[in-house]
Amino acid sequence: MRFLKTPLAAVLCGGIIMGLALGMRHVQGLFMLPMTSARGWTREEFALAIALQNLVWGLAQPLTGMIADRFGSRRVLFGGCALYALGLYLMAHAAGSMQLALTGGVMIGMALSGTAFGTVYGALSRVVSPERRSWALGMAGAVGGVGQFAMVPFAQGLIGNVGWMAALLVVACLLAFAAPLAWPLDDGKTARQPAPAEQSMRAAISEALSHKGFWLLNAGFFACGFQLAFIAGHLPAYLLDKGLSASTGVAALAIVALANVAGTYLCGQLGGQFRRKHVLAWLYIVRSMAMLLFVVVPLSAATVYAFAFVMGLTWLGTVPLTNGLVSQVFGVKYISTLFGFVFVGHQLGGFLGVWMGGLVFDATHSYDMVWTVSVLLGLAAAALHWPIDDRAVSRLQPA
pLDDT in the model for residue 162: 94
Query: pLDDT for 160-180, tens place per residue?
Result: 999 999 999 999 999 999 999
pLDDT in the model for residue 249: 86
Average pLDDT for 7-29: 89
Q: Output 169 or 7, whichever has higher pLDDT.
A: 169
Cα 57 off chain centre by: 10
Which own/partner contact pairs does 34-43 have at CB distance under 8 Å and 24+ positions apart?
34/159, 34/163, 34/164, 35/164, 38/164, 39/94, 39/95, 39/96, 39/97, 39/100, 41/97, 41/100, 42/358, 42/362, 43/237, 43/358, 43/361, 43/362
pLDDT in the model for residue 197: 52
- Percent of the chain predicted with pLDDT > 90: 41
Q: How many helices (H) and strands (E) does the chain have?
A: 18, 0
Half-sphere CA count of 178, side-chain side, radius 13 A: 27
Every domain of the chain and the residues it spans = 2-183+201-390
> Which range (127-141, 279-293, 319-333) has the least confidence?
127-141
Answer left, alpha or beta for residue 94, where phi above 0 means left and psi between -120 and 50 means alpha. beta
- Percent of the chain predicted with pLDDT > 70: 96
pLDDT in the model for residue 304: 95
| 214 vs 196: CA distance, rounded Å | 20
* The CATH number of domain 2-183+201-390 is 1.10.10.60: no
Answer left, alpha or beta for residue 200, where phi above 0 means left and psi between -120 and 50 means alpha. beta
Res. 16 pLDDT band, cuts 50 70 90: very high
pLDDT in the model for residue 194: 47
Average pLDDT for 326-355: 87
pLDDT in the model for residue 118: 79
pLDDT reading at 3 higher than 80: no
Average pLDDT for 252-257: 88
